[in-house]
A and B are shown apart, each in its own frame.
Chain A
Amino acid sequence: MTTLVGAEFLKLRTTRGWIGYVLALVVLTGIGTAAQVGSAAEVDLGTPEFQRDLVAGSLASLIAFLVGITSVTVEWRHGTITRTLLVTPRRELHVAAKGIAAFLAGVALAVLAVAVVLAVAIPFIVARDASFVLDSGLGARVGRIVLAAALWGALGAGVGSLLKSQTFALVAGILWILLFEALLTLLLGLVDLDSAADFLPAQALGAFEGSVDDALSPVAGGVVGLAYVVGVSLLGWFRVEHSDVT
């Protein structure tokens, strides 16, 4: 499995697709952080709560999700899946390797995003005579954010295997996060099932990350998020297992 995951990384690295995602992550996170810090009230700037939320505001999860989707769908799109499955004919191994590689890519992206947030925020905060609190609270928050992005990456890989079509998977994935989940939450609210909405994937992983208030506990959120990763990956494996590669 280590071999396969390593090979997946070699694959990710040797095309230019990832550059766009990394650029988008760095630029958008940089701008987002600057805007947040710039518009914050003086009193808030120095508080650990504000600073921890800053770290959580990065786009690492979204980008990790999209990278996970793309890492799988690109193979079906360009027909490289044929060669991939000739080397790894056992498709459960293929699906697992994709999931683990996307998980690790999520870790890398989140670490990068946190670095960008700190690089933008610290000089700004220090310049306004507040101090940046690098304590264990922040460390724990960063740890959860990194893990959440990793789970998002793996979830993306599962979605990619399940849907296979690149455009469809990316559009569906983005719409889900930006629109459908909110709509569903609204609908569930109408029928008095608000608490069920806490179990939707973005809500659950948000709770785990600590960026959604008033939802599941972080641990419960993490467990629900992991359940989505496993469930969707199993569905993805089922789809791939029953696909003809022609």
Chain B
Amino acid sequence: MIEVERLTKRYGSTVAVNDLSFSVAPGTLTGFLGPNGAGKSTTLRAILGLVRPNAGRTAVLGRPYRELDAPLERVGAVLETFDAHPGRSGRNHLRFLAAAARLPASRVDEVLALVELTGAARRRAKGYSLGMRQRLGLAAALLGDPEVLVLDEPANGLDPQGIRWLRDLLRALAREGRTVLISSHVLAEIAQTVDEVVIIHRGRLVRCATMAEVEAMAAGAARVRSPDAERLASLLAEAGLDVRSLGDGTLAVAAGPERVGELAAAHGIVLHELSAERATLEEVFLELTGSEAPA
């Protein structure tokens, strides 16, 4: 449905996207994750034919975006930068798009209602709040009733109600069988919405995984306290497990508590405490992208 193949994009000496490949299956809701500057927007813009890659290729619905007939009816997009003229009303902005894409003018009022922007539609876009701008972007994306949606941080600027509204909207769109690729730099923000994630860092692919796999990564950790922590730590390390000392005889282990308990029992080590730890999704994300958690 969406394919990115060995995509590379450089801006001068900055390599924004570096030999990146992934694909998005039809009918899935996929999160596209990475810290600031990871190359998400650049990749999405390349998929949409806005940025010319230095190498590699992208395709939507089997073709490069630029070769799609009636692109608005196939692919809807919201990008980070506001793309309506400040002096034009939101409604006129959509009217122009509908005219250029030969869509019935009635679609304009339909999508305005869908994104709950009807009240402000006749005001000039200059006066729109951040959330209203996002909604106008979504309205433009949905205008052609497309089967594929590419959304660059659409939750930016939305208040908590707005985020919930967006989540419900995206779920409803996915239920209708649409394919959605949505970028974010916060895993938790989209974790409840997406089925799969593509994680990139410094322009390179880190991981493609289902959300269930990510949850599993978050689950498999234990915390253990023992008077003989040092010996336990070296035994765990010998067994090939990741161990971190938290001080005070407490260890964090990247394995389930069953495994840790069994190992301790086999070597007769006394434990004072053993519990399952759940890493937050943020921790998993930071771990995967190798960035330090902000202090």
Contacts and interface: CB of A to CB of B under 8 A. Distances in A.
A16 B140 CA distance: 22
Given A14-B96, A86-B72, A78 B50 contact: no
A6 B100 CA distance: 8
Contact of A246 (B51, B68, B95): B51
A74 B85 contact: yes
A203 B242 CA distance: 79
A225 to B, nearest CB: 29
Contacts of B86: 78
Interface in A78-132: 78-90
A6 B99 contact: yes
A227 B179 CA distance: 47
B88 interface: yes
Interface stretch (B41-49, B164-172, B192-200, B224-232): B41-49
Given A11-B96, A87-B101, A88-B100, A82 B88 contact: no
Interface string A178-206: 00000000000000000000000000000
A246 B45 contact: yes
Contacts of A89: 48-49, 65-68, 71
B229 to A, nearest CB: 52
A22 to B, nearest CB: 16
A3 B102 contact: yes
A3 B98 CA distance: 10
A82 B79 contact: yes
Chain A contact-residue range equals 20 to 34
Nearest to A242: B52
A87 B72 contact: yes
B84 A83 contact: yes
A244 to B, nearest CB: 5
Contacts of A79: 81-83
Nearest to A243: B52
A16 B92 CA distance: 13
B88 A86 contact: no
A246 B79 CA distance: 9
A41 to B, nearest CB: 47
Nearest to B48: A86
Interface string B51-70: 11000000000000111100
Contact of B89 (A6, A14, A90): A14
A10 B95 contact: yes
B157 interface: no
Interface of B: 11, 41-42, 45, 48-52, 65-68, 71-72, 77, 79, 81-89, 92-93, 95-97, 99-102, 140
22 contacts: A3-B100, A3-B102, A11-B88, A17-B87, A78-B85, A80-B84, A80-B85, A81-B83, A82-B81, A82-B83, A83-B83, A83-B140, A84-B100, A85-B50, A86-B48, A87-B101, A89-B48, A89-B71, A244-B52, A245-B45, A246-B41, A246-B45
